[in-house]
C-alpha cells in the first residue's frame, strides 16, 4: 500500500457538510476519479482513508488533510487533476505528497490548527488591550460540551490550548483575528469556544461573520510544522 497525503480546501459551498457526509463525498469522488484505492479487510471493507481533523459545520478551510491508501503507483499530479475533476464545487485538492513507508497518519500527527476569525462588534472597540488582558490570565475557564456524555457541560481551562492569538486587521467595529489553537486527540480547542470565553472576558457583543481554518500543523519537538512536510517521501 502506498500512502498519499492530500491537502484540500473546503469552501463555502461545502461548509454545511458534516464530517460523515464529507467522508462519503470523498469516497464517491475517489471512485469517480478511478483512484486505485486499497480496501480494508473484514466483513465490511471500506476504502483506506483518514482525515486529519473534523471541521465544524459552517467553518471553511484552506488547509484540510486526508490520507489515502492506493495499491498502484500514481503520480501526485495525476491524483490532483483527476480528483479535481470529480469533486463537487467547494472541495478542491491543493497539494499531494507520497508518504514514506510506515508514516504516521495525519490524524495521529495533528497538534495545532490556525484560524482566521472575522468578528463584527456593536461599536468601535480597543481590541488590542482586550486581547492582551485576555491572554494575561493564568487560567481561562470555559464551559465545553461533551458530545459523548449527552452534551453535558464541563469546565475546562483553555489558556494552555491558545498558542497564539493576535489582531490581523481592524476597521472600526470589524475585527479580523488570527489564532493558533491546539487541535487533535491530546488537546483540542474549537474556535467557537475561544470566542465564547473572549466574549465573556470583554463583556462586549459581537457577531461571528466568518471562521476559516487556515492550516493544520504537527509539533516536531516544539517546532510547528505543516502536515505536508512530514514523512514526505519526495
Near other proteins by CB under 8 A: residue from 2, 9, 25, 94: 25
Nearer to other proteins, 44 or 129 (CB): 44
Nearest CA-CA partner of 194 in 173, 165, 167, 172: 165
Answer yes or no whether residue 211 interacts with other proteins by CB under 8 A.
no
Q: CB of residue 222 vs other proteins: minimum separation in angstroms?
A: 37
What is the per-residue binding string for other proteins in 42-81, x denoting contact by CB under 8 A? -xxx-----------xx-----------------------
What SS3 class is residue 197?
A: helix
Answer yes or no whether residue 86 interacts with other proteins by CB under 8 A.
yes
Cα within 13 Å of Cα(56), Cβ side:
15
Nearer to other proteins, 27 or 196 (CB): 27
Buried b (16+ CB within 10 A) or exposed e, 199-221: eeebebebeeeebbbebbbbbee
Nearest CA-CA partner of 110 in 231, 234, 227: 227
DSSP annotation of 87 reads S
Longest Cα–Cα distance of the chain, Å, equals: 60
Q: CB of residue 48 vs other proteins: minimum separation in angstroms?
A: 12
Answer yes or no whether residue 17 interacts with other proteins by CB under 8 A.
yes
* Other CB atoms within 10 A of residue 170 CB: 17
Answer yes or no whether residue 32 interacts with other proteins by CB under 8 A.
yes
Which range binds other proteins by CB under 8 A, 83-91, 122-130, 165-173, 182-190?
Answer: 83-91
Please give the residue ranges that form the binding site for other proteins (CB under 8 A). 12-14, 16-18, 20-21, 24-25, 27-32, 39, 43-45, 57-58, 86, 88-90
Amino acid at each position: 500500500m502506498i500512502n498519499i497525503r492530500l491537502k484540500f480546501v473546503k469552501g463555502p459551498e461545502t461548509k454545511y457538510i458534516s464530517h460523515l457526509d464529507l467522508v462519503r463525498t470523498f469516497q464517491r469522488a475517489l471512485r469517480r476519479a478511478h483512484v486505485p484505492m486499497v480496501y480494508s479487510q473484514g466483513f465490511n471493507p471500506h476504502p483506506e482513508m483518514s482525515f486529519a481533523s473534523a471541521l465544524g459545520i459552517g467553518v471553511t478551510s484552506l488547509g484540510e488533510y486526508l490520507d489515502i491508501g492506493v495499491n498502484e503507483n500514481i503520480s501526485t499530479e495525476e491524483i490532483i487533476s483527476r480528483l479535481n475533476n470529480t469533486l463537487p464545487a467547494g472541495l478542491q485538492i491543493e497539494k499531494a505528497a507520497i508518504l514514506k513507508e510506515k508514516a504516521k497518519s495525519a490524524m495521529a500527527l495533528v497538534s495545532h490548527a490556525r484560524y482566521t476569525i472575522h468578528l463584527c462588534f456593536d461599536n468601535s472597540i480597543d481590541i488590542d488591550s482586550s486581547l492582551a488582558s485576555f491572554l494575561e490570565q493564568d487560567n481561562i475557564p470555559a464551559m465545553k460540551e461533551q458530545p459523548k456524555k449527552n452534551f453535558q457541560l464541563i469546565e475546562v481551562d483553555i489558556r494552555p490550548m491558545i498558542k497564539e492569538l493576535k489582531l490581523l486587521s481592524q476597521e472600526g467595529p470589524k475585527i479580523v483575528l488570527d489564532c493558533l489553537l491546539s487541535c487533535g486527540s491530546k488537546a483540542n480547542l474549537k474556535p467557537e469556544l475561544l470566542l465564547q470565553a473572549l466574549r465573556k472576558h470583554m463583556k462586549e457583543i459581537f457577531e461571528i461573520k466568518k471562521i476559516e481554518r487556515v492550516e493544520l500543523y504537527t509539533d516536531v519537538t516544539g517546532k510547528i510544522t505543516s502536515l505536508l512536510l512530514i514523512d514526505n517521501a519526495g
